Amino acid sequence: MNKHFRYSDWASKFVCTILLCLLFTFSRSQGKELQGKWVLDITLEEDGNSVSVRHPMFSAYLVYEFKDTQLFINDKPLSVTYMESNTIKTPYQTLHYTLDSIYLFVREQNENVTLAFLREEDFLNHNPVFRSKTVIRDGKEVIVKNDLPISDLTMSWN
């Protein structure tokens, strides 16, 4: 009888260890599909239509880059926790996401718009005007990079 309890105790510890490993693996793998750089392609209203030209997110420049347990929003780092049911928690907001064949749809909690991101390469394929080009200027070959600038609101004008 004493051996049975030892075996049972060992078995329960083994099962608990396996379950914890699976849970850890699942929570880590949930974010793996998001890893990399995502560029905002379009902002959608609740009805699925794109936002109007007057909406502040109509022409917003927004890049999410997922690296392990960090999310860089326009190069500003935030620590993230991947929750169940496609939810990401940051210190300041909760993001709900879904993945389509090429799109990452993100909706901030208590917001009425959905942000539709493309991976960087898909965005460049979809919008080739932003792809770098090689041109000849003054007899020299130079690379012209056509980035969207991010305004630096802290910059002072003299």
**Number of residues that this document lists for the chain:** 158
CATH number at residue 125: 2.40.128.270
- Is residue 3 in a domain? no
Place 77 in a pLDDT band, splitting at 50, 70 and 90. Answer: very high
Other Cβ atoms within 10 Å of 151 Cβ, number: 7
Residue 134 confidence (pLDDT): 84
Residues of the chain above pLDDT 90, percent: 42
What's the pTM?
0.68
Residues 130-135: what's their mean pLDDT?
A: 81
CB atoms near residue 148 (< 10 Å) = 13
The pLDDT of residue 136 is above 60: yes
The answer to whether position 28 is within a domain reads no
In a domain, 41, yes or no: yes
| pLDDT for 135 | 84
Contact indicator for 135, 142 with CB cutoff of 8 Å: yes
- For residues 90 and 23, which has the higher predicted lDDT (pLDDT)? 90
Torsions phi, psi of 114, nearest 5?
Answer: -115, 130
Q: Does the pLDDT value for residue 33 go beyond 50?
A: yes
DSSP conformational letter for 127: -
Structural domains of the chain, count: 1
Q: Which domain holds residue 39?
A: 35-144
Q: For residue 18, is it within any domain? A: no
Tell me which of 16 and 121 has the higher pLDDT.
Answer: 121
Cβ atoms < 10 Å from Cβ of 51 = 18
Copy the structure tokens of residue 123. Answer: 């965005």
Q: Place 39 in a pLDDT band, splitting at 50, 70 and 90.
A: very high
